[in-house]
Structure 1
Amino acid sequence: MLIERPEDLTLTSPGPLELSPALLASLRTNRDRLLSALSSGAPVYGVNTGMGAMSKRRLDEPEQRVHQRNLLLGRAVGGAPWLPYAEARAVVLARLRTFLTGDAGVSAELCQQLVALLNSGYVPAIPLEGAGSAGEIIPLAHAAGPLVGIGTVVDAEGNCYPADHLLRAAGGGSGSGDAGSLLSSSFELGPKEGIALLAGVPGATGRVWLQGEPLARLVGRMGEVAAGGLAVVGASRDPYEARVGRGDELLAGEQARILQLAGSENSPGALQAPVSFRVAGQVVSHVRRTVVRLTEAVDRGLDGVTDSPAFLDGEFLGTAGFHGIDLAAHCDHVVAALTHAAEVSTARIHRLLDPAVTGLPAQLARVPGPQAGLVSVHKRAVATTHALRRLSLPAAIGAMETSNGQEDVQAFTWEAAGNLTTAVRLAREVVAAELLVVHQAFALSGREVPAGLRELHAAVQAVVPPIDADRPFGLDLQAILDHVM
């Protein structure tokens, strides 16, 4: 795919990637301006000075020549476990995307080296944990190292190789797509390029960017599964009546969707269903709202000024683009919303196992007593929800001083992104558990599945055989996670 503008580069951009001649020319023009500005000899943080507590130390010419590479060497202190392949690739994509705006003033050659890495089929080995700095310098040092032969790369199967596995001899290689012929060993970091590779929060931005589609699917499934629960127990539809959503268009839309999916109920089983059945609209709309805001924060991270020092209008400006509190706080918000949604879903599962609520056999077993039914599916959901509760402690809270007080606070954006990724996985498990329970409840009830939910339940039926006796229901849950969720 030919990339002509920064916004052309997305997670789904088909490979091989290529930067357009016009974009490369723009990068080169901007780079020439930056090098001209540096020639004045004025102090520029991280270019002709040390970093952090050492920023007052001016570097002489020999020191400057090796400084940018040394920045990567001295900060690559992480270790396994590494990010999954898709997350590591998203980090590199986000890094390149921020460079294409021109704020970092990096060379076209550095951007092409990043493109070569993305086209190689390999990703950097980036530590899953242990960022601990104002920004992301530790994971970003690992992400950038392979560009100059430092560190480790990982293939799609999880096999690790020394980074120089990707480098070709200077002037050699055919560029045919072979892993060893894509990155150039003749490439060296120029002035400001090492610090640019460590700047901002592209790592967390890329990781959260990657969660956008799974989150959108998850929110949709939450509403559908909740609607199935309403339908199978014959819950009153009063809480979903259109007038109830006044003043909140998003809530009103979610209520209308759930009502349409659940269908009408002329003779509800009780005047009031349990709370967990009545609040689905509020719960799902809140998750959806937080996801929208998170997506907006990702867009700001991709399109805003995050480099420091940024090269803007011909001058160097120290920025706070590394302080990703906007993204971290929105990650925390989504994790809290997912945790609450899981709690409500787990409560509905418990009610669906209760004959007093459903009028169905206890624990949705064909033969209660000799058979346990789906009681342990609920217990798995309980354990998963408990894990979500532990994740819901805000990652953005808990700053500690580093660098002799020069870096005296952090936003822990990297950790917030990791919590979000785990929370999405766990919330999917809970919703899958509820979907299995709702599906079995329909099977036992003889009720017709509402028209709006037939496609969903047909998808479950395609991978989950009829439940007539106890069996390892974990296999059924995994089938739902793999093929339905």
Structure 2
Amino acid sequence: MSISSPSDVDPASPEPIELAADLLDHLAAIRIAALHRLESGDPVYGVTTGMGAMSKRRLTQPEQSVHQHNLLLGRAVGGPPWLPPAEARAVLLGRLRTFLTGDSAVSPALIQQLVALINSPYVPAIPAEGAGSAGEIIPMSHAAGPLVGVGQLLDSTGRLLPAAGVLPKFVLGPKEGIALLAGIPGASGRAGLQVARARRLVDRLSEVAAGAIVVAGANRDPYREVVGRGDEVLASELQRIRALAGEEPEPRSLQAPVSFRVAGHVHAHVRRSIADLQKAVERAFTGVTDSPAYLDGEFVGTAGFHGIDLAAYCDHLTAALAHAAEVSTARLHRLLDPAVTGLPAQLARDPGPQAGMVSVHKRAVATAHQLRRLTLPTAISTTETSNGQEDVQTFSWEAVGVLAEAIRLTRETTACELLAVRQAFYLAERAAPPGLQGLMAAVDAVVPPIDADRQFGTDLTNLLTEVMG
């Protein structure tokens, strides 16, 4: 992937990175100007001074020469569990995107070292938890350490290995250590990755709900586009569900259970929440999050590391997914009822001797309950650190981690409903409508016909691995 501007960096992209020469020349000019500005002797936080509560301490020239490297050492206090490789790479891509704005005023050589790590078969071992600071200094010290030969890496098999010797040894120059730690690039990059995952998930939610609507013979009135008047997102979602489900000339009842009728509203809310988070990610990458940032020829202290925008919209999407999972689980329960579907109880071929999908629903119930516990708002702590210098924080790193877990759990409840929908089509001996035939074919490729009870956990694992996306 050729990069000519910061906006070209996609945190969800697995492609190798190559930076345009013009962009590197632009960043080199900024670096030269910033170094010249440092010669003025004015105090610059984290460069000529200590950090946090020690910011009043001016550093001598010998201390400054090792300070930037030392910044990556004492803050690396994290440990396993480590971020999955895709999330770790998203952190690096988030750091790259912020560097390319020029606010950090780092050298093109450091940026190229970062690109080399991104393009390597390794990712840094970055702790998934424990970022209790204003900003991301703990996880980013782990992310940045391998650039200078310290810390640990994970290979493609998940094996942990020392970072020393993987990349050419790099010596940090003035401001480059604090630049590696500054801002909220990790939460921003990870949130961008979760946006891509959530979009794939909500598309699957729409398909599975449409399948349940078909199975129940639900009246299609609630999915008329006109019902979404004044709300383009809702109108579009209703149109999508109706197109997937097709028409039902003879509904089983005037009104299906509420969990069927509200599918459009539930998914529209998820889609709006995804769009809101995407806008927050773009604000994080477009705005100034470095501190100090090099702006208009000056080093400027900022509060851009306070990721309340990201944390709030991650929480918003987590709650939207929790609601969607609960509605999906409720629909799954209704699908087990012959009064709703006209099919054998619990979608068993032989109810009584066979349990059918009843335990699949129980798994969905437990998963939805687990998801519900994630919906506590993240940014409600005023815990102090650094002797009171950092007296509030947003826990945006944790918020995006909670969102990642919410996406994983919602995929599970959706897979449970999908298995039941496929079984219902099978027992009814009817083909799926055209809009759902691709999905049902994908299910059939990994889930054999169900004529008797078996270990349905294997089927669900296959759906999660091969079908859910």
Match of 2:3 in 1: 3
Q: What is the distance in 1 between the residues matched to 2:253 and 2:227?
A: 20
Match of 2:76 in 1: 76
Paired residues for 1:307-318 under 5 Å: 307-318=290-301
Match of 1:184 in 2: 168
Q: What is the distance in 1 between the residues matched to 2:49 and 2:271?
A: 46
Match of 2:274 in 1: 291
Q: How many residues align?
A: 468
Q: Deviations over 1:325-367 (max 9, x none)?
A: 1111110000000000000000000000011211111100000
Paired residues for 1:276-287 under 5 Å: 276-287=259-270
Match of 1:57 in 2: 57
**Is the contact between residue 332 and residue 420 of structure 2 (CA under 8 Å) also seen in structure 1?**
yes
Secondary structure at the counterpart of residue 316 of structure 1: strand
Match of 1:217 in 2: 200
- Compute the displacement of 1:88 (Å): 0.8
- Compute the displacement of 1:14 (Å): 6.4
Match of 2:132 in 1: 132
Distance 1:425 1:365, change over 3 A: same
Match of 2:111 in 1: 111
Q: Which region of structure 1 is more displaced relative to structure 2, 412-421 or 451-460?
A: 451-460
Match of 2:435 in 1: 452
1:417 aligns with 2:404: no
Q: Deviations over 1:2-32 (max 9, x none)?
A: 3222222324656543322222211111001
Match of 1:393 in 2: 376
Match of 2:324 in 1: 341
Query: Share of identical aligned residues, percent?
Result: 68
What residue identity is the alignment partner of 1:341?
Answer: A
1:305 aligns with 2:282: no
What residue identity is the alignment partner of 1:59?
Answer: L
Distance 1:353 1:297, change over 3 A: same
Match of 1:332 in 2: 315
**Is the contact between residue 93 and residue 206 of structure 1 (CA under 8 Å) also seen in structure 2?**
yes
**Is the contact between residue 76 and residue 138 of structure 1 (CA under 8 Å) also seen in structure 2?**
yes
Q: What is the distance in 2 between the residues matched to 1:88 and 1:241?
A: 43
Q: What is the distance in 2 between the residues matched to 1:276 and 1:261?
A: 17
**Is the contact between residue 140 and residue 197 of structure 1 (CA under 8 Å) also seen in structure 2?**
yes
What residue identity is the alignment partner of 1:63?
Answer: E
Match of 1:441 in 2: 424
Q: What is the distance in 1 between the residues matched to 2:305 and 2:16?
A: 30
Secondary structure at the counterpart of residue 146 of structure 1: helix
What residue identity is the alignment partner of 1:60?
Answer: T
2:215 aligns with one of 232, 251, 255: 232
Match of 2:163 in 1: 163
1:48 aligns with 2:48: yes
**Is the contact between residue 12 and residue 90 of structure 2 (CA under 8 Å) also seen in structure 1?**
no
**Is the contact between residue 318 and residue 406 of structure 2 (CA under 8 Å) also seen in structure 1?**
yes
Secondary structure at the counterpart of residue 165 of structure 2: helix
Distance 1:190 1:25, change over 3 A: same
Structure 1 residues without counterparts, runs of 5 or longer: 167-182
**Is the contact between residue 232 and residue 447 of structure 1 (CA under 8 Å) also seen in structure 2?**
no
- Compute the displacement of 1:165 (Å): 3.3
- Compute the displacement of 1:106 (Å): 0.6
Q: Which region of structure 1 is more displaced relative to structure 2, 294-303 or 101-110?
A: 294-303
TM-score scaled by length of structure 2: 0.97
Match of 1:97 in 2: 97
Structure 1 segments of 4 or more deviating over 3 A? 11-16
What residue identity is the alignment partner of 1:154?
Answer: L
Match of 1:350 in 2: 333
- Compute the displacement of 1:247 (Å): 1.1
1:432 aligns with 2:423: no
1:382 aligns with one of 340, 365, 370: 365
Paired residues for 1:4-43 under 5 Å: 4-11=4-11, 16-43=16-43
Q: Deviations over 1:162-186 (max 9, x none)?
A: 11031xxxxxxxxxxxxxxxx221x
- Compute the displacement of 1:291 (Å): 0.4
**Is the contact between residue 12 and residue 196 of structure 2 (CA under 8 Å) also seen in structure 1?**
no
1:199 aligns with one of 174, 178, 182: 182
What residue identity is the alignment partner of 2:124?
Answer: P
Q: What is the distance in 1 between the residues matched to 2:25 and 2:203?
A: 43
- Compute the displacement of 1:447 (Å): 3.5
Secondary structure at the counterpart of residue 153 of structure 1: strand
- Compute the displacement of 1:399 (Å): 2.6
Q: What is the distance in 1 between the residues matched to 2:48 and 2:394?
A: 27
Secondary structure at the counterpart of residue 164 of structure 2: helix
Structure 2 residues without counterparts, runs of 5 or longer: none
Q: What is the distance in 2 between the residues matched to 1:133 and 1:12?
A: 26
Secondary structure at the counterpart of residue 28 of structure 1: helix
Secondary structure at the counterpart of residue 164 of structure 1: coil
Q: What is the distance in 2 between the residues matched to 1:281 and 1:141?
A: 43
Q: Deviations over 1:255-295 (max 9, x none)?
A: 11111211111221112211101100100000011001111
Q: What is the distance in 2 between the residues matched to 1:428 and 1:421?
A: 11
TM-score scaled by length of structure 1: 0.94
Q: Which region of structure 1 is more displaced relative to structure 2, 366-375 or 301-310?
A: 301-310
Secondary structure at the counterpart of residue 153 of structure 2: strand
**Is the contact between residue 104 and residue 290 of structure 2 (CA under 8 Å) also seen in structure 1?**
yes
Match of 1:175 in 2: none
1:88 aligns with 2:88: yes
- Compute the displacement of 1:70 (Å): 1.1
What residue identity is the alignment partner of 1:340?
Answer: H
1:250 aligns with one of 220, 233, 239: 233
Q: What is the distance in 2 between the residues matched to 1:302 and 1:413?
A: 14
1:404 aligns with one of 367, 387, 393: 387
Match of 1:170 in 2: none
Distance 1:213 1:101, change over 3 A: same
- Compute the displacement of 1:101 (Å): 0.8
Q: Which region of structure 1 is more displaced relative to structure 2, 87-96 or 297-306?
A: 297-306
Q: Which region of structure 1 is more displaced relative to structure 2, 292-301 or 278-287?
A: 292-301
What residue identity is the alignment partner of 2:57?
Answer: R
Distance 1:13 1:22, change over 3 A: farther
- CA-based RMSD: 1.2
Q: What is the distance in 2 between the residues matched to 1:291 and 1:10?
A: 16
What residue identity is the alignment partner of 1:184?
Answer: P
